[in-house]
Each structure stands twice: as C-alpha cells, then as structure tokens.
Structure 1
C-alpha cells in the first residue's frame, strides 16, 4: 500500500480565527484528494525568541535554545508539502510566524536545507492592506529553503476583518483551493518521478551551505588575495556533523 502524501500547515496566527478557518477549508480540499493534513498552530508551541547570543552565523550546530521549534522542524522534514499561513498584523507578518521563520531558518535549516524539493504554498490574510507583502515574504522564505513553490494563478490572499469574514471571500477561497490542488498535483508528480528514477534528491544543490564562498563571509585566505576554496565543496569545519540533527 502506497504511503499517502502529507501536507503540513504552519499557522502563524495568535488566535483560532480567520486563518484557522481558511486552513480548515484547505484541509478539506486536501482530504478530497486523499492527502493527509496536519496543522501546527504556533500559538500552541513553546517558542522562544532569538536570544542575545549572536553566534547563529558561525555556530556549526543547531540552536541551543530548548523549546518546541525542533519538533516542528521534524514534522516539516517528514512532510511532502508545507503551507505557510499568516495574517497581516501592523502591515507585516504576524509576530509568531516571524519569530518562527527566524528561529527555524538560522537555527536549524541553514545547515543542509532539509526542506529542499518539498512543495510549498503560501496563504496570507488581511483586512485589506499588505496581504501581498506578507505573501511575498513567506514565498521568498520558501525559496531560500530551496522548496518548490506552487502558485494558484493569483496569490492565495484572503480578505477578512471580523471572525467568519474569511469564509465569505469566495475569490480568496477559490485561490486557496487551487493552491492545494496544484500542490497535490506537484507532490504526486514528484513522488511518481522518484519511484521511476529511484532518485530522492531531484534538484541537488551544489553546496551544503550557500553562505560558504560569499565575499561577505570570507575571513580566510581569499581575503588576503589567495585562492578561495571551491564553493561546491564546503570546508571540513562547515560540513554538518553526524550529530547535527540529533537534537531534532
């Protein structure tokens, strides 16, 4: 029996409101396609803000803060597709989602980009303003993690003010449905390709950590005019250790 495909949704809202309603709508679309769905509400996760240590760009091991973020990362790595959903607060991304993408990205995902080739979708909610800006920020974050971003024609932005308004935005919900359908199509296509070719790393990255070799980060021989190491071959001390994900 074939293992069903799975989408994990990350809900960046502080309350069970319009964003949750939209994700329940999306879950129903996924269920109709035979896709498993799980929503993680960041409001229920014990999550610390980035601390004052300031060594994120240098440390060769995951973040030292102990909270619920590693558990969320584990579920993201195990999923076939990930939906990032957040409301607009103060003309920007809601603080829970902002904190999460900061902690997850620099604390765990930057080492070897474990979300590479997973299918990503983005949903943003707003009263009226800045829905596109939040959608764009979360989309760029997915691209940073080398995910395959699927669209719905128009961005999946939903307009709502009071609780229940999101379910009245027919055009927004149509774009959400199209997004989930297209994510499912892409996940099925990738799964079929993996089965036929036996290749899991479909779009292999040429380096483990894309920061290596950037002039901004050069502190070694190349800064003095000597030959820089091949960017495709990370230095030994930059290679992820076997224990890298032991804490996840």
Structure 2
C-alpha cells in the first residue's frame, strides 16, 4: 500500500487554541512524515448537545433523537478514518466536560449500534497541570477498547504536563512518548491496511455480535470505504 492514510484526532478541550491543540499540531507533523494526514476535530468549534433526560438509551435501535447539533458529521469523520486519537486536558481532577459530553453522546447515541471504529488503530493523549492525568488517561483508553479499536502504545503513556499555553510542548519526555505512540500507530495502521488489501479481509476478526441493531450504520456506510 503506497497511498497516504488518514487519522482523526478529537481535541476535547474547551479551548481550541490551548495546549492540546498545540500538541496535535506537532502530532500532525510527525504523522505527515510517515504518510498519514491528521484531521483534527476541535470540539470547541462545534455544536454539541449533552445527553438529555429521555432515558431510552438502552432500548433505542436508531441513533440519538437529540437533533440539530454537529455530532453525526463528527462521527462520520471518525468512522471513515484509519485511526482515531482521543486527546483531552485534565479539568477539575477529571476529564474535561466537552470531551465527556462527546464520548457519551457519540458512544451511546451512535457508535454502539455497529461499532464502526472496530479494528482502527487508537491512541490517547492527555495533558494537564499536574494531577489526575492517569485517571483521565485510563478513562479514554477504556473508551478506545470499548469501541474495539487496536490500542497502540510505546512504553510509557502519552501523558504531558503543562498549565499555560505553550508549556506542554516543552515537556520533552511527554512529547517523546507521544511521538513514539504516533510512529507505532502509523506503522500498525499500514500493516492492517496492507493485509486488508492483499487478502480482502481484516487481520483481526470482526465481531458481529453488537449491542444494538445496526440498520442505521449499514445504510449510512453501505458504499463508503473504511480503509
């Protein structure tokens, strides 16, 4: 496979121009050198509605009925990528509220029907001043695994320390760990794509036993390529 690949990075920060975005700009350069284009979704720039009080999440067989926001289009961009990176800052000793709202709505309202992120490579980047990085990191890793992605790491996790804008990209050890993860993600995505191209099937078995009826995703991605 000689063509370029495409990753999507979800920036969960409420600030589109903060530390997280600076790290993703650096990530784009690293991936570009390895034949991967990075599509950055800055959640702060989109309309997102938090989960409501309807309470029918465990019975619905169609996507979330909360309409009028940008979530379906963002899910589309993830579903058609070769890899997905979840990047978020630590706020109030936990995951920032924008990313929390996104993973709740995207997961329960859309991704659980057919798990369209299955067998895509996944990575996690967490940035914050000093505390609770690992708690946020593990929550996002759990989300990657829940969506049946191939979690790629490189030793230490991509956890970076910084408070004011510009500090996180100067965390040399953190940036090194992030770079290692990105390089391995690009390599793994290419291996999986080459196997699919040569054999016509995924290297990893696709589990079709999903939590929800998949009619909506079957229609939406019936003719769209996901490699």
TM-score (norm 2): 0.92
C-alpha distance in structure 2 between counterparts of 1:88 and 1:99, whole Å: 14
> Following superposition, which runs of at least 4 residues in structure 1 exceed 4 angstroms of deviation?
242-247
Match of 1:216 in 2: none
Q: What residue in structure 2 maps to residue 61 of structure 1?
A: 62
Note if 1:171 corresponds to 2:173. Answer: yes
C-alpha distance in 2 between matches for 1:147 and 1:153: 18
1:192 to partner: Cα distance:
1.2
SS of the equivalent of 2:9 reads strand
Query: What count of residue pairs does the alignment treat as equivalent?
Result: 219
State the match for 1:215 in structure 2: none
Answer whether contact 2:195 2:203 (CA < 8 A) is retained. Answer: no
- Name the structure 2 match of 1:5: 5
Question: Could you report, residue by residue, the CA deviation over 1:95-123 in whole angstroms, capped at 9, with x for unpaired residues?
Answer: 00000000000000111111000000000
Q: CA RMSD in A?
A: 1.7
1:152 alignment counterpart: 154
Give ranges in structure 2 of 5+ residues lacking alignment. 222-227
Extract unaligned runs of 5+ from structure 1.
Answer: 210-237
Report if aligned partners of 2:126, 2:160 keep a CA contact under 8 Å in 1.
yes
Distance in 2 of aligned mates of 1:161 and 1:6: 30
Q: Does 1:241 align with 2:215?
A: yes
CA distance in 2, matches of 1:166, 1:73: 28
Matched, 1:128 2:110: no
Q: Deviations over 1:127-174 (max 9, x none)?
A: 111111111100000100000000121000000011110121000000
More contact order relative to length (CA 8 Å, sep ≥ 6): 2
Q: If you compute each CA radius of gyration, which structure gives the higher value, 1 or 2? A: 1
Counterparts of 2:123 and 2:172, CA distance in 1: 19
* CA contact 1:9–1:40 (8 Å) conserved in 2: yes
